A and B are shown apart, each in its own frame.
Chain A
């Protein structure tokens, strides 16, 4: 689990190299398809509510994991929220240092029972607080592709 040391010294041991030659094509599925189309076309956040237990999921899901029943329909929520926790990330995936530490947060999304994982933008690390209100920053409509990166991040509201 420790993600700290890069392995560079293989010179003392005999070894050989290998790869897995695969790429993946993921469908969004029944729930996320609606969510990402609404982000792309309307800049809206679609949630879905389970009629059995009343839990509201964001992004919209097609079934409830608690009740194991189908969820029909979606409702738009504002996309605003509250910072639940945050971190400043100093390293890239390959352990090289980032030029600027990245701000990442979990956001309690208004009108839902879910949180979003995303970047914080337009704010300095020393100004971020748990409990801070934030709103989404979307790319311009022409640049949106129906992808999680259509949301640039969340910024103080």
Chain B
């Protein structure tokens, strides 16, 4: 391969909360500083910066890359902002990987910061503008419409029930009880999910992740630079991203082909031939409970319509054979859009290093992946990590 090998050598994450006192810049600063401190580096050791943050409308600041640059260590450095909606948190490290893999830089700081709570009364108003202004906005759609329509199609196609899907939410919110950054850790039952308020059938309140403020950061280094920093590098062995049509209503909603294409790109690069056997642990993007199952199928970690069987058999529990979202995911840790995907990358980094504390999965996994999803629900972003 013509690329430089790229390692993750450090990571930091702030607590995810509904409304932070800190500004987005300050959240970015806290995560950046934690990531640098975790591997004994300073900003002077960093050659480039990749920032991820989602819509400018969250902040009402129409240059959010520049706005967050100071907190992200971007001062007088080659600095780039990435944005693919909810997919941003895995897209930003993919860009950091490009910076280092290309040989242009030996170190890169990847920062993802999101402050959703400035939007008043709710970020929903900002989300409305992702719909087509001529054919859709006049119908007064909310994001939940898309997910309700997709979840219903997923259930109808494979004969899956709401009760079955609710077990994802039960699992992830429980996993989050052991995550120090978590916003919504809780022990709940399937009945609690079923009895929570219906937002848009079949989506209930406990089927979905919260709006959050928070930030996460990682430090990337080339192979030779990493030797001076750590003896426990975790390698980014594969990256993939793919975009489907922006006419979301016209896509196959029962199967995320854009995730499959992103995953296959990452698997080809990483030399993963049998994902079901080789990917030992994963953080599929789970802003809604059914999305964990939907994405496992797109990622080729389960056959179509069969991810639910792995869930019901306990295979995806933290102590199961194929743990999914051991962090607690977006459902449990929280969903500050761009920071969520990077939180997932950090979880796999910690798990592969054996540093996930109470969340550590058994079996000393060597290979895992993190995935995010976003834009108008049609972008897939994937990284494959190995130790």
Contact = CB atoms under 8 A, between A and B. Distances in A.
B337 A1 contact: yes
A106 B249 contact: yes
B202 interface: yes
Given A65-B245, A87-B145, A106-B149, A3 B134 contact: no
Contact of B143 (A3, A59, A125, A147): A3
A113 to B, nearest CB: 7
Interface in A1-46: 1-7, 9-10, 13, 17-20, 24, 26, 28-29, 32, 36
B198 A90 contact: yes
Interface stretch (A69-77, A115-123, A136-144): A115-123
Interface string B195-207: 0011111110100
A36 B132 CA distance: 15
A6 B121 contact: yes
Given A2-B209, A3-B142, A7-B120, A85 B337 contact: no
B200 A116 contact: no
B268 interface: no
B34 interface: no
B125 A93 contact: yes
Interface residues of B, number: 55
A2 B211 CA distance: 5
Most chain B CB inside 10 Å of its own CB: which residue of A59, A65, A105, A115 = A115
A1 B337 CA distance: 7
A140 to B, nearest CB: 18
Nearest to B21: A13
A24 B133 contact: yes
A96 to B, nearest CB: 10
A95 B210 CA distance: 14
Interface residues of A, number: 50
A90 B196 CA distance: 13
Given A6-B122, A130-B156, A32 B200 contact: no
Given A3-B143, A116-B249, A94 B121 contact: yes
Contacts of B149: 85-87, 104-106
A88 B149 CA distance: 9
B18 A18 contact: no
Given A1-B208, A95-B124, A85 B153 contact: yes
Interface in B150-175: 150, 152-153, 156
B135 A148 contact: yes
Contacts of B150: 85
B378 interface: no
Contacts, number: 148
A85 B152 CA distance: 6
Given A3-B208, A106-B249, A114-B249, A87 B152 contact: yes
A145 to B, nearest CB: 11
Contact of A114 (B18, B134, B212, B247): B247
A4 B205 contact: yes
Contacts of B4: none
B290 to A, nearest CB: 13
Contacts of B326: none
A93 B140 contact: yes
Contacts of B198: 88, 90
A94 B152 contact: no
Contacts of B140: 92-93
A1 B287 contact: yes
B148 interface: yes
B128 interface: yes
Interface string A97-112: 0000100111000000
Contacts of A117: 135-136, 139, 141, 145, 249
B330 interface: yes
B209 A149 contact: no
Contact of B134 (A4, A101, A115, A148): A148
CB-based closest 3 A-B pairs = A87-B148, A2-B210, A85-B153
Interface of A: 1-7, 9-10, 13, 17-20, 24, 26, 28-29, 32, 36, 59, 65, 84-95, 101, 104-106, 113-119, 125, 130, 147-149
24 contacts: A1-B209, A2-B210, A2-B335, A3-B123, A3-B127, A3-B199, A4-B199, A7-B19, A7-B120, A13-B21, A59-B135, A84-B253, A85-B149, A86-B149, A87-B148, A89-B145, A91-B200, A105-B149, A106-B249, A114-B249, A116-B249, A117-B145, A130-B153, A148-B134
